[in-house]
């Protein structure tokens, strides 16, 4: 009997197969792959046990033999999605910074390739599936040759995860909002000029005057997104570099 949470036991092959009922003629891999295909094409909203069963040409009841409910299916999707784009292995010939930056960029691409991942609730427990743990392990491995204490290594990785998830999700929401507004809608800059008073919001007014928010499309281009990601990563990595240097000096 496994003590792992529902769904996690499946990922690690710890769930005992059902002893009653018809002989299995599906696999969890088939069910999860079908759900991921739906989410990748249409977003997370249309994903349901019924829709997945329809895609597989089966009844919804037949899926419950393998996956207990939709929440469990979503947790399986996240981890299998992480396994479909494995993290890069650290290059022992370079230092921690190039390796960590490469890891971060690859994680950004994973979220851009499977944007639905960021809309799945994190669940009752921290990530514990093999796919997500592999990403965590490879990030921590970047610091193997440094003197950073283990708790600081973990804090650094969590900081990067928070930054990356936040940036990618914000870009998604901005672009979805721009699509919803349609053409001809006023830009964010146009709306701000109507409400931003220079006496009340002087710092913001200066930015508005520089037309920073006047993109006629209202969204964020790939080039703008890449620049935002690179800027944020540079700032974070510069801070980490100083931290690593401080611990090197103490030895």
Domains of the chain: 8-82 (1.10.10.60), 86-250 (1.10.357.10)
Question: Which of residues 12 and 124 earns the better pLDDT score?
Answer: 12
Residue 212: which residues within 8 A CB-CB, separation 6 or more? 189
Q: For residue range 229-245, list pLDDT tens digits in order.
A: 999 999 999 999 999 99
Residues in the chain: 251
What is the share, in percent, of the chain residues with pLDDT greater than 90? Answer: 61
Angle, alpha carbons 54-56-60 (nearest 5°): 50
* Distance, CA of 241 to CA of 9 (rounded, Å): 38
**What is the pTM for the complete model shown?**
0.86
- Highest average pLDDT, of 10-19, 155-164, 204-213, comes from 155-164
* Cβ neighbours around 66 below 10 Å, total: 21
The average pLDDT across 104-116 equals 95
- Highest average pLDDT, of 38-42, 64-68, 182-186, comes from 38-42
Q: For residue range 192-214, list pLDDT tens digits in order.
A: 899 999 999 999 999 998 887 77
Instruction: Tell me what pLDDT residue 217 has.
Output: 63
* Distance, CA of 80 to CA of 243 (rounded, Å): 34
Instruction: Tell me what pLDDT residue 180 has.
Output: 54
Q: How many CA atoms lie within 13 A of 189 on its CB side?
A: 14
Instruction: Tell me what pLDDT residue 77 has.
Output: 93
């Amino acid at each position: 009997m496994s003590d792992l949470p529902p769904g996690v036991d499946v990922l690690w092959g710890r769930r005992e197969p059902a002893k009653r009922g018809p002989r299995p003629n599906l696999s969890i891999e088939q069910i999860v792959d079908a759900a991921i295909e739906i989410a990748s094409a249409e977003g997370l909203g249309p994903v349901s046990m019924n829709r997945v069963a329809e895609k597989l040409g089966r009844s919804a009841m037949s899926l419950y033999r393998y996956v207990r409910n939709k929440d469990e299916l979503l947790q399986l999707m996240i981890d299998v999605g992480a396994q479909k784009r494995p993290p890069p292995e650290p290059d022992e010939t370079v230092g921690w910074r190039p390796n960590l930056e490469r890891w971060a960029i690859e994680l950004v691409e994973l979220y851009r390739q499977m944007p639905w991942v960021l809309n799945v609730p994190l669940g009752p427990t921290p990530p514990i599936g093999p796919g997500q743990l592999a990403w965590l392990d490879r990030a921590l491995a970047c610091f193997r040759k440094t003197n950073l204490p283990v708790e600081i290594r973990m804090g650094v990785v969590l900081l990067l995860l928070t930054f990356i998830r936040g940036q990618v999700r914000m870009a998604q929401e901005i672009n979805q909002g721009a699509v919803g507004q349609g053409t001809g809608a006023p830009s964010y800059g146009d709306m701000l000029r109507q409400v931003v008073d220079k006496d009340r919001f002087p710092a913001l007014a200066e930015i508005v005057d520089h037309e920073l928010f006047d993109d006629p499309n209202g969204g964020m281009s790939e080039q703008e997104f890449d620049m935002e990601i690179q800027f944020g990563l540079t700032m974070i990595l510069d801070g980490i570099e100083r931290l690593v240097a401080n611990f090197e000096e103490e030895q």
